[in-house]
């Protein structure tokens, strides 16, 4: 049978030996080994998360740099392929705004049509200094070989464009 309410409250247990309080006291542990093991495991988990995050950010940066290098090389490759296949309008579209303002498409097409035809080319790794420079070894149909250093700039969308040559 449960406690009987007298006047709306539960009476206190009678004093004396053998009387038990309503709850048992929480156990105390004299050995703190489990506490330190738990804290050590939590610290290790936190350290692994931090190291994993740093590795992830590093991998993201490396991947981003590789993508920028590939995009710069692809722009120069597309430009030289367009010139080699005499698709001058496509080559003109790869020029930056300042180069297009300096020379109309008709003027560009007439100028490059008079230049020696490209027979073969190889695009090298981009160099990032004050500006993006992409070297390319170009062999012309007349047998001359030259290393051209293309200056690239990014437009508002982040796409690389050819802005000229660095001598």
Residue spans per domain, the chain: 60-165
Name the band, by pLDDT with cuts 50, 70 and 90, for residue 18. Answer: low
Name the band, by pLDDT with cuts 50, 70 and 90, for residue 53. Answer: confident
91 vs 60, residue with greater confidence = 91
* pLDDT tens digits, one per residue of 147-156: 999 999 988 8
CATH architecture of 60-165: Roll (3.10)
Q: What is the mean pLDDT of residues 45-62?
A: 81
CA-to-CA distance for 159 and 152, rounded, in angstroms? 10
| Whole-number pLDDT of residue 90 | 95
**What number of CA atoms fall less than 13 Å from residue 120's CA on the CB side?**
5
* pLDDT tens digits, one per residue of 74-93: 999 999 999 999 999 999 99
Q: In the chain, what are the helix, strand and coil shares in percent, each to the nearest 5?
A: 45, 20, 35
Q: How far is CA 24 from CA 20, 21, 107, in A?
A: 8, 7, 97
Q: What is the mean pLDDT of residues 107-133?
A: 91
Helix (H) or strand (E) holding 13, with range, is none
Q: What is the mean pLDDT of residues 13-31?
A: 64
CA-to-CA distance for 92 and 108, rounded, in angstroms? 7
- DSSP 8-class letter at 11: P
Whether pLDDT at 33 is above 90: no
| Whole-number pLDDT of residue 89 | 94
Whether pLDDT at 129 is above 70: yes
Q: pTM for the whole thing?
A: 0.65
CA angle, residues 77, 79, 81, in degrees to nearest 5: 65
134 phi, psi to nearest 5 deg: -120, 110
């Amino acid at each position: 049978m449960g406690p009987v309410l007298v006047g709306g409250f539960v009476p206190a247990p009678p004093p004396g030996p053998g009387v038990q309080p309503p709850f048992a006291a929480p156990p105390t542990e004299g050995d703190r080994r489990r506490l330190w093991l738990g804290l050590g495991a939590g610290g290790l988990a936190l350290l692994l998360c931090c190291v994993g995050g740093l590795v992830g950010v590093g991998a993201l940066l490396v991947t981003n740099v590789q993508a920028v290098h590939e995009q710069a090389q692809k722009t120069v490759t597309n430009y030289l392929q367009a010139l080699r296949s005499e698709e001058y309008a496509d080559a003109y579209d790869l020029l930056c705004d300042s180069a297009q303002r300096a020379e109309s498409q008709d003027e560009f097409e007439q100028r490059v049509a008079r230049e020696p035809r490209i027979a073969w080319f190889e695009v090298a790794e981009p160099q990032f200094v004050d500006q993006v420079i992409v070297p390319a070894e170009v062999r012309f149909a007349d047998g001359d070989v030259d290393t051209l250093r293309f200056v690239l700039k990014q437009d508002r969308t982040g796409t690389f464009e050819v802005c000229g040559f660095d001598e």
